């Protein structure tokens, strides 16, 4: 194929005009060692996803959640941005991308250098008190949990994109949780659980990025969940082109002007090579 007809070259033509809003999902982080839910590295869950109602209504559920999340946090905290995250940040640096809507909770876009990121489902690196609403760093909670559980070193199984790790029952049963250091209230990761609604101002911010976009570029998401699919629906309703790079089909393929089934890191690195270099770094 000639350059003008390869899928990446066609994508480069779309991206080169600027005004790109990126919508990213778990597939973008698989090359950083974080499995996705439904793609090539996805694994079947061994437990039902935690709901807000179960978390707030059951001390046993909270103990189970925090034990699994404490073990999984070690894996998430060690993860580093991959070539895909760095490519997205570079698109912003070159003035081609105006912002990122991410369904991920791993903070890797910001770690790669992206400045305008809306975390649709929150972030695992923060903890919120459900009583006083104070937000504190996850590292501080990690230190408190380590102190409350001396010698606890569970052997983990699968790790999910939300930082949840499979654990043996004895490791869960013997785990001690801690409450808010300021008021004694229940602590929860600053992420959206099943049964919770994304805050309306955050949703409005996302829709604003879609409305302002000349191109919605979906990266690493099957868009199975309506939480992300609605932004593609809005772009299509506005007549804004949608391009999708993902490993495997997506729910929104019929709405896209271009789809590319490829590993994200290599594809986005090649995309950058096809685009103008942008301003020189100071």
Q: What six digits make up the tokens of 33?
A: 């060692």
Judge whether residue 277 has pLDDT over 90.
no
Distance CA 104, CA 60 (A): 27
Neighbouring residues of 18: CB distance < 8 A, sequence distance ≥ 6: 95, 96, 214
Given the residues 70, 85, 109, 121, select the one marked as catalytic. 121
- What pLDDT is recorded for position 274? 95
Judge whether residue 257 has pLDDT over 70.
yes
User: How does DSSP classify residue 278?
Assistant: -
> Over the stretch 178-195, which tens digit does the pLDDT of each residue have?
999 999 999 999 999 988
> Over the stretch 238-247, which tens digit does the pLDDT of each residue have?
999 999 999 9
- What pLDDT is recorded for position 50? 85
The end-to-end CA distance of the chain, in Å, is: 38
Sign of the Cα pseudo-torsion (242, 100, 204, 56, in order): positive
- Side-chain-facing half-sphere of 88: CA atoms under 13 Å: 34
Judge whether residue 1 has pLDDT over 70.
no
- What pLDDT is recorded for position 37? 62
Percent of the chain surpassing pLDDT 70? 90
- Side-chain-facing half-sphere of 6: CA atoms under 13 Å: 11
Can you tell me whether residue 100 is helix, strand or coil? strand
Mean pLDDT, residues 157-172 taken together: 74
3-state helix, strand and coil shares in percent for the chain, rounded to the nearest 5: 40, 15, 40
Instruction: Report the b/e string of 68-86 with b at 16+ CB within 10 A.
Output: bbbbbbebbeebebbbbbb
Can you tell me whether residue 248 is helix, strand or coil? coil
Compute φ and ψ for 146, nearest 5 degrees.
-65, -40
Q: List the one residue out of 58, 55, 53, 85 whose CA is nearest residue 69.
A: 55
Q: What six digits make up the tokens of 17?
A: 């005009």
User: How does DSSP classify residue 196?
Assistant: P
> Over the stretch 103-119, which tens digit does the pLDDT of each residue have?
999 999 999 999 999 99
- What pLDDT is recorded for position 238? 98
Domains of the chain: 3-273 (3.40.50.1220)
- What pLDDT is recorded for position 161? 65
- What pLDDT is recorded for position 151? 85
Judge whether residue 276 has pLDDT over 90.
no
Judge whether residue 252 has pLDDT over 70.
yes
Strand arrangement, sheet containing 187-191 = 135-137, 122-129, 187-191
Of 63-77, 84-98, 137-151, the range with the lowest mean pLDDT is 63-77
Distance CA 88, CA 267 (A): 12
Neighbouring residues of 94: CB distance < 8 A, sequence distance ≥ 6: 275, 276, 277, 278, 279
- What pLDDT is recorded for position 36? 72
Distance CA 213, CA 151 (A): 51
- What pLDDT is recorded for position 280? 59
How high does pLDDT run on average in the chain? Answer: 90
- Are 262 and 248 in contact by the 8 Å Cβ rule? The answer is no
109 is catalytic: no
Judge whether residue 221 has pLDDT over 70.
yes
- What pLDDT is recorded for position 177? 96
- What pLDDT is recorded for position 281? 52
How many helices (H) does the chain have, and how many strands (E)? 10, 9
- Per the annotation, where are the binding residues for Zn(2+)? 129, 132, 180, 183
Mean pLDDT, residues 257-267 taken together: 97
Query: When comparing pLDDT for 277 and 224, which is higher?
Result: 224
């Amino acid at each position: 194929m000639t350059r003008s007809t390869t899928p990446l070259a066609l994508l480069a033509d779309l991206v080169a005009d600027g005004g790109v809003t990126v919508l990213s999902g778990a597939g973008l982080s698989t090359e950083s060692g974080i499995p996705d839910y439904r793609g090539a590295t996805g694994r079947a869950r061994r437990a039902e996803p935690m709901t807000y109602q179960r978390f707030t209504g059951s001390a046993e559920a909270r103990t189970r959640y925090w034990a699994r999340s404490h073990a999984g946090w070690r894996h998430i905290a060690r993860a580093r941005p991959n070539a895909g995250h760095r490519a997205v940040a570079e698109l912003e640096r070159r003035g081609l991308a105006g912002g990122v809507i991410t369904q991920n909770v791993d903070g890797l876009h910001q770690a790669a250098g992206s400045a305008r990121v809306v975390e649709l489902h929150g972030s695992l690196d923060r903890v919120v008190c459900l009583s006083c609403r104070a937000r504190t760093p996850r590292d501080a909670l990690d230190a408190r949990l380590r102190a409350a559980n001396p010698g606890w070193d569970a052997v983990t199984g699968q790790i999910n994109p939300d930082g949840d790790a499979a654990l043996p029952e004895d490791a869960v049963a013997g785990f001690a949780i801690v409450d808010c250091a300021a008021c004694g209230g229940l602590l929860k990761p600053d992420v959206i659980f099943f049964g919770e609604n994304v805050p309306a101002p955050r949703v409005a911010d996302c829709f604003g990025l879609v409305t302002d976009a000349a191109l919605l570029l979906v990266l690493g998401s099957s868009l199975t969940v309506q939480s992300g699919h609605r932004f593609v629906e809005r772009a299509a309703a506005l007549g804004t082109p949608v391009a999708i790079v993902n490993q495997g089909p997506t729910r929104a393929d019929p709405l896209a002007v271009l789809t590319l089934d490829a590993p994200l890191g290599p594809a986005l690195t090649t995309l950058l090579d096809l685009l103008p270099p942008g301003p020189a770094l100071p």
